[in-house]
């Protein structure tokens, strides 16, 4: 039996485009004498559709689309993902399903058993879990069809408070009793730099433990914050990866089941920072393409965060679609302007220099009677940031550009950003990238030649909102800060647990207080491209008014 893996980039709710992609791949596979072609989880509607699943018209469009696809399945079978209606009188209205299509119609429907409800996932909100385990026989082979989390019943955790087995039941334990010849798993597993190897290891473990081949098809492409990296694969019954599809782009491969033990796939290792780079480029590109925008703008300060955001934007959208403003204040150093100009010219992008000194002076004059008797403080710093935000948003409004936010995760965590100022934007590109990784990204970008001026990378980070200002005036060095933040945010460690690891108690208390105090700022931040296992946004739900 020849099986095709179709790793495609879907657009949520764009049924016409999704059906067209799927049927095009079916026709291609049919011309290559493929017996079965497999697509990813909820491929018909795109993943995750969230509350669109509560609209009857949306579900009707899913059903119509599945039937259109089925009509193309003559002489070939296909497995596609879509919601299906739960006809039982009890339970949620929908199942998360895999449809087995052949001979022009729906032959079987397989429903997802394990519904993730953690981090960015909330499938129990919409779907009823499956409890009826079955296989299908096709071309003389007995096939077990599973959906994403159904293979993730056991997974290591990075928090000692959590259970080491998330679910009570194991779908594979039940399906194994039916003696299938191989397993199909359709998935929509989002990228995080510290989870891609975990996903691979879980599949290897399943294939080994059950002594069964696995055909795994993952979604690729970005859906606002979530970035799906693809990396679909085929494993033989020994747990060896015998074929793998590309990361961060659409791909298609055909594997003959009888040749599964003769294939010799050699994996090319990518550095973590390269994966993060590729994920961010894909995230920007898909956000613009799927929102039907073409051009981006941002403020280029001469600092490392805005420099990297500009480079990523150019690589995602093309240099002709990126326009930047250099917005120096009376506190901006000469080398910051020189560095920003150097980067813009290296990238070949349009730039203008607009001093904010005059605007700042006007605001200070207007506010002077109101601030009488008050000493200058962070208020005056925030005014500068908000003037910059106003000018950037004016360019965005006038020319239809999307403003890219340049705040990194370290700054977002401790509240080092100005609401309605440097926190403006339609998307936060680096909002899930710690400052220490920002530096790694800069070195990766410059690995072949100097794109980002070296001075931008080596100079002490500064917001340049007051004379001789440096980030370390009020924060520990970024190696220390990011380590504490990682323990607190990703690993969910308490203050005392972090202190017990050797960190300075005063510093730990200060950092955790800053993180907790600034939740209200992050609540108003633009969508953040997720590249870690715990990003700010949908995956981290903290009460704004909590006192803890």
Please work out, in degrees rounded to the nearest 5, the angle formed at the alpha carbon of residue 231 by the alpha carbons of 228 and 235: 140
Whether this prediction's pTM lies above 0.85 is answered by yes
At residue 54, φ and ψ (nearest 5 deg) are -90, 0
Sheet containing 296-299: give its strands across: 350-353, 322-326, 296-299, 402-405, 427-428
CA dist., res. 193 & res. 467, Å (int): 38
CA dist., res. 103 & res. 73, Å (int): 6
CATH 3.40.50.620 assigned to 276-471+519-523: yes
CA dist., res. 450 & res. 452, Å (int): 6
Whose tokens are 């747990």? That residue is 239
Mean pLDDT rounded to a whole number for the chain? 94
Quote the crossing angle between the two packed helices 505-517 and 478-489, to the nearest 10°.
Answer: 60
Give me the pLDDT at residue 157, please. Answer: 52
Quote the crossing angle between the two packed helices 272-290 and 304-317, to the nearest 10°.
Answer: 60
CA dist., res. 127 & res. 233, Å (int): 27
Q: Cβ of 403: how many Cβ atoms within 10 Å?
A: 20
What is the distance, to the nearest Å, from the Cα of residue 360 to the centroid of all Cα atoms in its chain? Answer: 37
CA dist., res. 295 & res. 68, Å (int): 35
SS3 call for 192: coil
Q: Nearest-CA neighbor of 101 among 110, 91, 92?
A: 110
- Quickly count helices (H) and strands (E) in the chain: 16, 19
Whose tokens are 């980067």? That residue is 343
In percent, the amount of the chain with pLDDT more than 90 equals: 89
CA dist., res. 446 & res. 408, Å (int): 19
Q: Nearest-CA neighbor of 303 among 283, 277, 332?
A: 332
Sheet containing 36-38: give its strands across: 105-111, 94-102, 77-85, 36-38, 2-7, 251-256
Q: Cβ of 152: how many Cβ atoms within 10 Å?
A: 21
Q: Which residues contact 392 (CB under 8 A, 6 or more apart)?
A: 297, 298, 299, 325, 327, 403, 424
Helix (H) or strand (E) holding 402: strand 402-405
CA dist., res. 505 & res. 510, Å (int): 9
Q: Which residues contact 395 (CB under 8 A, 6 or more apart)?
A: 297, 323, 325, 401, 403
Residues 53-75 have pLDDT tens digits of 999 999 999 999 999 999 999 99
CA dist., res. 271 & res. 284, Å (int): 20
Give me the pLDDT at residue 495, please. Answer: 97
As a whole number of Å, the end-to-end CA separation of the chain is: 58
Q: Which CATH number fits domain 2-269: 3.30.365.10, 3.60.110.10, 2.30.42.10, 3.40.50.720?
A: 3.60.110.10
- Domain locations along the chain: 2-269, 276-471+519-523, 476-517
Q: Could you please report the per-residue DSSP string of 482-531?
A: HHHHHHHHTS---HHHHHHTT--HHHHHHHHHHHHHTHHHHHTSPPB---
Give me the pLDDT at residue 163, please. Answer: 52
- Is the link from the previous residue into 514 a cis peptide, with omega within 30 of 0? no
CA dist., res. 388 & res. 311, Å (int): 20
Tell me the catalytic residues.
41, 112, 148
- Characterize the bridge pairing of strands 77-85 and 36-38: parallel
In the predicted model, residues of the chain with pLDDT beneath 50 are none
**Do the beta carbons of residue 312 and residue 430 sit within 8 Å?**
no
Give me the pLDDT at residue 365, please. Answer: 96
CB half-sphere exposure, 483, CA atoms < 13 A: 13
Q: Nearest-CA neighbor of 389 among 420, 358, 410?
A: 420
């Amino acid at each position: 039996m020849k099986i095709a893996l179709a790793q495609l980039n879907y657009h949520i709710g764009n049924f016409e485009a999704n059906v067209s992609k799927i049927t095009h791949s079916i026709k291609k596979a049919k011309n290559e004498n493929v017996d079965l072609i497999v697509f990813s989880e909820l491929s018909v509607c795109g993943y995750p559709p969230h509350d669109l699943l509560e609209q009857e018209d949306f579900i009707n469009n899913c059903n119509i689309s599945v039937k259109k696809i089925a009509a193309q399945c003559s002489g070939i079978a296909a497995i596609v993902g879509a919601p299906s209606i739960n006809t039982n009188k009890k339970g949620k209205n929908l199942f998360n399903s895999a449809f087995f299509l052949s001979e022009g119609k729906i032959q079987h429907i397989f429903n997802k058993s394990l519904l993730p409800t953690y981090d960015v996932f909330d499938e129990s909100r919409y779907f009823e879990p499956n409890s009826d385990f079955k296989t299908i026989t096709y071309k003389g082979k007995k096939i077990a069809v599973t959906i994403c989390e159904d293979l993730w019943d056991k997974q290591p955790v990075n928090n000692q408070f959590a259970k080491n087995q998330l679910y009570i039941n194991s779908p594979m334990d039940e399906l194994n009793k039916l003696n299938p010849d191989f397993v199909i798993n359709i998935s929509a597993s989002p990228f995080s730099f510290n989870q891609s190897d975990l996903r691979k290891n879980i599949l290897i473990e399943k294939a080994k433990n059950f002594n069964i081949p696995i055909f795994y098809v993952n979604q690729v492409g970005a859906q606002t914050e979530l970035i799906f990296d693809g990396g679909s694969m085929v494993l033989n019954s020994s747990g060896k990866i015998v074929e793998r599809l590309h990361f961060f782009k659409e791909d298609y491969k055909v594997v003959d089941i009888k040749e599964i033990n003769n294939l010799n796939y050699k994996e090319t290792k990518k550095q973590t920072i390269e994966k993060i780079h590729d994920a961010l480029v894909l995230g920007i590109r898909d956000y613009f393409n799927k929102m039907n925008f073409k051009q981006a703008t941002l403020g280029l300060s001469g600092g490392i965060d805005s420099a990297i955001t500009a480079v990523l934007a150019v690589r995602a959208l093309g240099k002709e679609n990126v326009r930047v403003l250099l917005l120096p204040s009376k506190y901006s150093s000469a080398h910051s302007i020189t560095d920003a100009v150097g980067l813009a010219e290296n990238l070949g992008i349009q730039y203008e220099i607009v001093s904010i000194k005059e605007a700042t002076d006007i605001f200070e004059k207007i506010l002077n009677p109101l601030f009488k008797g008050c000493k200058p403080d962070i208020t005056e710093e925030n005014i500068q940031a908000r003037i910059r935000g106003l000018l950037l948003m004016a360019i965005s409004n006038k020319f239809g550009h999307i403003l890219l936010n340049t705040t990194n995760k370290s700054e977002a965590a401790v509240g080092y950003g100005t609401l309605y100022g440097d926190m403006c934007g339609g998307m936060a590109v680096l909002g899930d990238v710690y400052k220490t990784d920002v530096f790694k990204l800069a070195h990766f970008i410059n690995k072949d030649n100097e794109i980002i001026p070296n001075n931008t990378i080596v100079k002490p980070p500064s917001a340049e909102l007051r004379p001789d200002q440096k980030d370390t005036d009020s924060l520990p060095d970024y190696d220390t800060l990011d380590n504490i933040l990682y323990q607190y945010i990703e690993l969910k460690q308490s203050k005392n647990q972090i202190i017990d690891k050797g960190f300075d108690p005063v510093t730990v208390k200060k950092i955790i207080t800053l993180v907790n105090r600034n939740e209200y700022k992050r609540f108003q931040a633009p969508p953040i491209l997720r590249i870690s296992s715990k990003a700010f946004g949908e995956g981290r739900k903290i009460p704004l008014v909590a006192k803890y």
